Amino acid sequence: MKFLFLFMDGIGFGDNNPETNPFAAAKTPNIDALLGGARIVAGSAPLETARASLLALDPNLGMPGLPQSATGQATLVTGKNVPQIVGEHYGPKPNKPVAAVVREDNLFMQLAQRGYRSTLLNAYPPPYFQGIESGKRLLSAIPLAVTSAGIALKTHEDMLHGDGFSADFTGEGWRTHLGFTDSPLHTPHEAGRRLAEVTRTYDLAFFEFWPSDYAGHHQDHEGAVKLLEHFDGVMGGLLEAWVDDEGLILITSDHGNMEDLSRRTHTDNPVPALVIGAPALRQQFCAGLQDLSHVTPAILQFYPPKG
């Protein structure tokens, strides 16, 4: 069983209004075809097509206030209702109570204990590690979960060897913004095919796509539309290379944001869970999937302890 977890930060189900919702404005032919012409907007879930299931998940988890990144991401990777445990929605980076929940037990630790290989596909540049070591930067919930399982974060060297990905998938950002002129450069379609290929070398691969939340907070409509069209290009290559009978792709989020650019804050909208793969695998995965705390248990059912 292969599992690719594409975490897309800050996306929810918003109104089908192209003026405020980039999901209603962007040209996304690959995702549109996958969903039989439907769009990831309010009212489109639940939906079943030949290759995909689209569900709406509750990110609020029974707590007042707007969902936040640290507790939402921690819930996704632990299977625990972290806002209820710590008494609030909290973010963006984990405080001590949230970090304690993540370090105690999480998806990556469980997979390792059961004899499976998992990884975070994002590669990080040297300044990131320098910031962590100096204490000036805190790990967000997902890399915290990964490192708590004894799994090293990927570096520039992993990028060069083809086992790590930039935040934009293609390597363009590392060249233009970070000055790494030796970083591999791929088209979105090539990057999507590489995602499928690299995922096959692990039991579970996780990718954190944070630019979506950034675009939402900046109310950058043009940038958000370009971002989604770029993501759709990556999906074209990924869907072409993915073998549905081998495993599942999950695209989901921690809270809403980019789907409503009329505001700078997060939203309390349901978040999408787009599941791609063979119908039987999708049916098993999606059974009972209703909120963020159900995601890790749904994944772990496919990975019984070895030996």
The total of structural domains in the chain comes to 1
| DSSP H helices in 62-210 | 69-78, 82-86, 96-104, 107-113, 126-134, 141-148, 156-160, 172-176, 188-199
What element of type H or E holds 118? Answer: strand 118-120
Q: How many residues does the chain have?
A: 307
Cβ-based neighbours of 17, under 8 Å, separated by 6 or more: 24
Q: Is the pLDDT of residue 307 over 80?
A: no
Residue 278 is assigned to a structural domain of this protein: yes
Residues 23-70: pLDDT tens digits?
Answer: 999 999 999 999 999 999 999 999 999 999 999 999 999 999 999 999
Residue 306 is assigned to a structural domain of this protein: no
Residue 251 is assigned to a structural domain of this protein: yes
Residue 194 has a pLDDT of 97
Residue 202 is assigned to a structural domain of this protein: yes
Determine the Cα–Cα distance for residues 30 and 80; give it in Å rounded to an integer.
33
Residue 216 has a pLDDT of 85
* Token pair recorded at residue 297: 């248990």
Residue 182 has a pLDDT of 86
Residue 305 is assigned to a structural domain of this protein: no
Residue 205 has a pLDDT of 98
Structural domain boundaries, residue 240: 2-300
154, β-bridge pairs: 123
Q: Domain of 30: which CATH number?
A: 3.40.720.10
Residues 103-134: pLDDT tens digits?
Answer: 999 999 999 999 999 999 999 999 999 999 99
Q: Is 10 exposed, middle or buried (0-12, 13-18, 19+ CB in 10 A)?
A: buried
- What is the rounded average pLDDT of the residues 165-179? 92
Nearest CA to 205 out of 121, 84, 92 is that of: 121
CA distances from 84 to 98, 288, 299 (A): 11, 20, 22
Global pTM reads 0.96
Residue 77 is assigned to a structural domain of this protein: yes
Residue 221 is assigned to a structural domain of this protein: yes
Residue 266 is assigned to a structural domain of this protein: yes
